[in-house]
Amino acid sequence: MADYDDMTPGEVLADASVADFIASLGRGIAEAQQDLDRNSIEQLDSFTERLDGLGGKSLMELGFSPAFYHYQHADLSCSLNIRLKVEKETGFDLGITGAFGQTDSSAEAASSSSTETASGSRTESALRTADIELENASAGRLEINGSSYQSDADDGFMDRASDLAEQLRSGGLVDAVQVIRKPSELSIESEADPDRVAIGRNTVAFVARDHPGGLIRLDANEETTIKLDGENEVTVSAKDDLAAFADAVGEAIENLSGYKALVLPPGKTWLSVEFKLDGADVPADEHSMLDNVAWLLKQVPALNLQLLGHADRTGHEDWSKEYKQSYNLDLSRQRAEAVEEVIRAFGPDLGDNRINSDGEGEARAVEQGNPTDHQPDRVVEIAPADDEAAYILVESKDDAIADVSPDRKDGSDGNGWLGLFAARSLSDLDGDTVTIEGESISLSGDSVGDAEDNSPEAFAANLATKVNDEDDLAVVANARGRVCHLAPASDAIQLHLVTSSKSDIQMSSSEGVTVKEQFSRTSSERKVQQRSGNRTVAVGASVDVRYSRQFELDVTGNSSITARLVSVPAPPEFLDTMREFLKD
């Protein structure tokens, strides 16, 4: 309905659409005429059909013809009665009341309470979380309820974060700490041999091989002769399945003097990387194995890997089942991503889809019940994603492997050698340079700590030391095994803290550590006072304002149609055509 407030009578009449009434009456006449014509046409078959009762003749042959009807004229009439009513009403009421009373012999009690939350908890009430950030370029110090936690300033930025997390876990107030590291990408280049110095997004990895070797693929369980050099070969017959056949080939190679074989069975876990309790840092002694994994991916372009992280069930007793499962799922995924990072450090040219990383939390540990040894569940399993073949990684303790057969280095199907590699030394890398953010740094293989001269671990450690000594570079470094990890000094590592303690926990920090979110805390206070006497004062006021506006529109009317209907004979041309048709 239109808003008829302030409208003139003519405007109201126009809105009533009188023309629509008249138009509807006219359309009714036209539609009736159309129905009459359609009915006459539908009767034509009756006039042309030959009937046995008429001596085999039709009505048309007996002189009958169809009639058509139409309205000769029609009279239309329409009358309307329009009534418009508009009402407005405004009202205003005001009321005030007051009272005073006193009783000397009565007693009055007053109480107050308050609840304060310093920061919101993101988990259920039984668990509380907090977040801190540790700057890459600073050791910093964190204090919790008077206890101080600080890592060694001489450690690398990743080691400082891991050390601080370990201290917090063992401090008694914090149940678990997740270390989240997402460094910004750096510009890194090198003039060194890319097969020995691999440049990644934020890494420099040093690749060396103490012994020559090669890779054998077995995709058929059939008798095969594997030739390793001019003097050594093994012949193995078919076994119960491909996995058993691969084991037999590997055992035969191991029995040869000077050879070592690592069998990678089809469709099963090849290797496992172990982690510390609640940790997601890849141990340094696993780097050489992951170096071989990266080389394997380079040698077999059709090979894709699945990295599946796991966690044990040794969660905290005060944690709910749902939260523990969620925490362990995140931890298992972090472990898989950490392993992928190291593999890609040795193979920076690997495609994005070659490695698929995921975690399944404590699911496998649940299936196995409650084992006494939880270490097998703190792992990342490495397995082929979609390859049904078996592989054998062969190393020669002496001379290079040559004159091998069957030769499958072209990628053709069948059992045989996919690739060979020679021993690779880093002794001549001294003096080569790595350029980081435009700053050139020379490489050194001098022994350091437990790392021997010209070992990949020595080159990684020396590079990290030189980067950290460059004050103008604004980049920090951390050597882990054969990989030197790099990050902008302005970046920070996040530590996510979880506690089930119900006590109040206060955190403060020095420069280099930022408390992003405190643990939530709740406090309350109640006071009760007694006094004689009772006084009451009451004042009340009310204000009521009313405004209303009402519209009412009533349209009534009637209409009538007077029409004359006449019959019109069929056209002569039509009748002549029909008669000719009946003759045929």
Helix (H, G, I), strand (E, B) or coil at 536: strand
Q: What is the pLDDT of residue 110?
A: 40
Most confident of the following: 30-39, 93-102, 392-401, 460-469: 460-469
For residues 404-438, b (16+ Cβ closer than 10 Å) or e, as one string?
bebebeeeeeebbbbbbbeeeebeebeebebebee
The more confidently predicted of residues 563 and 273 is 273
Domain 270-384 has CATH 3.30.1330.60: yes
Q: What is the pLDDT of residue 90?
A: 53
Q: Strand locations in 372-471, DSSP E? A: 379-384, 390-396, 416-421, 433-436, 439-442
CATH 3.30.1330.60 location in the chain: 270-384
Place of tokens 């050194």: 444
pLDDT of 539 reads: 47
β-strands 433-436, 188-190: how paired?
antiparallel
- The Cα 188–Cα 486 span in angstroms is 10
CA–CA dist 437, 174 (Å, integer): 38
Task: Output the six-digit token pair for 2.
Answer: 């239109």
Strand order in the sheet with 439-442: 188-190, 433-436, 439-442
Q: Is residue 154 predicted with pLDDT exceeding 50?
A: yes
199-226 average pLDDT score: 92
Of the segments 101-105, 190-194, 296-300, which one has the largest average pLDDT value?
190-194
- Computed over every residue of the chain, the mean pLDDT equals 79
Helices (H), 43-104: 44-48
CA–CA gap between residue 485 and residue 481 (Å, rounded): 10
Lookup result for tokens 């510009």? 187
| C-beta separation of 388 from 376 below 8 A | no
Q: Which of 131, 135, 129, 130 lies closest to 513, judged by CA?
A: 135
278 φψ region: left (φ > 0), alpha (ψ -120 to 50), beta (else): left
Q: How far is 72 from 63, CA to CA, in rounded Å? A: 26
In the chain, list all ranges with CATH 3.30.70. Answer: 124-183+494-521
**Residue 438, both tokens:** 């435009």
Residue 462 in tokens = 């020396």
What's residue 19's pLDDT? Answer: 63
pLDDT at 91: 56
CATH topology of domain 124-183+494-521: Alpha-Beta Plaits (3.30.70)
pLDDT digits (tens, 9 = 90+) for 93-123: 555 455 545 544 444 434 333 333 334 333 3
At residue 380, does pLDDT exceed 90?
Answer: yes
For residue 110, what are the CA distances in angstroms to 107, 164, 469, 523?
10, 49, 67, 20
pLDDT tens by residue, 509-555: 888 899 999 987 543 333 434 444 445 444 455 545 555 555 555 55
Radius of gyration over every alpha carbon of the chain, rounded to an integer in angstroms: 46
